[in-house]
Amino acid sequence: MKANKFFMGIATLAVSTLVLGACASDDADKESNESSNSTAASKTSDTESSAEVVSGASLQDGTYSLKELNDKNGYHAVFSITAKEGKITESKFDYLDKDGKSKTEDADYNKNMKDKSGVAPEEYIPQLNEALEKEQNPANVEVVTGATHSSNSFQNYAQQLVQAAQAGNSEEIEIDNGAKLQDGTYTLEEKNYSNGYRTVFSIVVEDGKVAESNFDSVNKDGKSKTEDADYEKNMKDKSGVGPKEYTKTLNEDLVKVMNGDEDEASPADVDVVTGATHSSHTFILYAEQLINAAEKGDTDKIEVDNFVEE
């Protein structure tokens, strides 16, 4: 997996309309202030963010859990969060083998990964859990260098658990990771506007392949950000790229990646567009959700009750 890519495999809940807490739409200043080589939409401060959440449903108290249905390299992810008084008080993410043994206890696996990547499960798994408890927003959790894929999975699944907590749905989320895509049109829309825009996104699957990717940001009149001349100019002046270019690039890249030669193609393999880091991360996050909906054949529209911070 490339280090400058943002991943995530996303599953939808077994409800007709999903309400997800997610990262907000970008603006030109946000794009220009982010590193183009970043592998996560994250904050680097050593203290919790002081930003105020002005949109996005709060979490309902309870314990929310998720599990992967299929093993990869002998392990599958399990994850739960506990919410109390609207806050995540405990994050428990891990990988288990068929006997229920944690990857953190696999000495050979830890040594081999440490030698190859510079970090081992016994290090990055606790680090990710602690980060979510601190940051509260999965989009603000740092990707761990050397554990990009696991970090991406963590962010993705944390996002789904936040969604479940927003809805108060304590039914365990099952991730049918790696299943064949079912034909149909899969749609996702953000609920809340940030800087005047919200994300709308759909993919079309034909013959088990992604035939179309239609990602965009629209204002309250339904007008695309790509048609906003002032926005285009301001962002291009600051970041070197505008919505017209990065929107087209991301959509084309997703179709290319998902229909490539790799056996386990994923939106995580889409390149982050230099100068549009935040939009690239949002794209990949939502693309993962749509891919997972296609794995289940769930064509119900996903409504994202995205967090907007000021």
Which secondary-structure segment (H or E) carries 76? Answer: strand 76-84
| Structural domain boundaries in the chain | 57-175, 184-309
| pLDDT band at residue 31 using 50, 70 and 90 as cut-offs | low
Domain 184-309: which CATH class? Answer: alpha beta
| pLDDT higher at 278 or 171 | 171
Instruction: Give the pLDDT of residue 252.
Output: 98
Please state, for a pLDDT cut of 90, what percent of the chain lies above it. 62
Residues in the chain, how many? 310
Name residue 11's amino acid: A
Q: Which of 293, 294, 297 is nearest to 20 (CA)?
A: 293
Fold of the domain spanning 57-175? Sufe protein. Chain: A (3.90.1010)
In the DSSP assignment, the letter for residue 194 is B
Tell me the per-residue pLDDT of 188-215, one tens digit each, with 9 for 90 and over. Answer: 999 999 999 999 999 999 999 999 999 9
**Which residue carries 């399990």 as its tokens?**
78
Instruction: Give the pLDDT of residue 47.
Output: 39
Instruction: In whole angstroms, give the CA distance from residue 152 to residue 161.
Output: 14
Tell me the per-residue pLDDT of 64-80, one tens digit each, with 9 for 90 and over. Answer: 999 999 998 999 999 99
Beta strands 62-68; 198-206: pairing state: unpaired
Q: Is the pLDDT assigned to residue 33 strictly greater than 80?
A: no
| pLDDT band at residue 89 using 50, 70 and 90 as cut-offs | very high
| pLDDT band at residue 1 using 50, 70 and 90 as cut-offs | very low
| pLDDT higher at 44 or 285 | 285
| pLDDT higher at 246 or 151 | 246
Distances (CA, A) of 58 to 73, 88, 128, 165, 309: 36, 11, 22, 8, 13
Instruction: In whole angstroms, give the CA distance from residue 141 to residue 251.
Output: 25
Instruction: Give the pLDDT of residue 51.
Output: 67
Instruction: In whole angstroms, give the CA distance from residue 258 to residue 294.
Output: 12
Q: Which two tokens stand for residue 307?
A: 């967090």
**Which residue carries 């393999």 as its tokens?**
269
Asked if the domains at 57-175 and 184-309 fall in one CATH topology, the answer is yes
Q: Which two tokens stand for residue 246?
A: 């990065």
The answer to which of 23-27, 139-143, 239-243, 265-269 has the lowest mean pLDDT is: 23-27
The answer to which of 1-15, 132-146, 158-172, 285-299 has the lowest mean pLDDT is: 1-15
Q: Which two tokens stand for residue 235?
A: 């962002």
| pLDDT band at residue 30 using 50, 70 and 90 as cut-offs | low
| pLDDT band at residue 117 using 50, 70 and 90 as cut-offs | very high
* Contact status, residue 307 vs residue 59, Cβ threshold 8 Å: no
Instruction: Give the pLDDT of residue 260.
Output: 85
Q: Is the pLDDT assigned to residue 160 strictly greater than 90?
A: no
Q: Which two tokens stand for residue 190?
A: 């953000």
Tell me the per-residue pLDDT of 209-262, one tens digit each, with 9 for 90 and over. Answer: 999 999 999 999 999 999 999 999 999 999 999 999 999 999 999 999 999 876
Q: Which two tokens stand for residue 92?
A: 């428990």
SS3 assignment, position 160? helix
| pLDDT band at residue 268 using 50, 70 and 90 as cut-offs | confident
Other beta carbons less than 10 A from residue 100's beta carbon: 7
CA 145 to chain centre: 17
Q: What residues contact 227, with CB distance under 8 A and at least 6 apart? A: none
| Interaxial angle between packed helices 277-296 and 148-167, expressed in degrees from 0 to 180 and rounded to the nearest 10 | 70
255: left (phi over 0), alpha (psi -120 to 50) or beta: alpha
- Mean pLDDT of the chain, nearest integer: 85
Q: Is the pLDDT assigned to residue 112 strictly greater than 80?
A: yes
* Contact status, residue 290 vs residue 6, Cβ threshold 8 Å: no
| pLDDT higher at 42 or 291 | 291
| pLDDT band at residue 17 using 50, 70 and 90 as cut-offs | very low
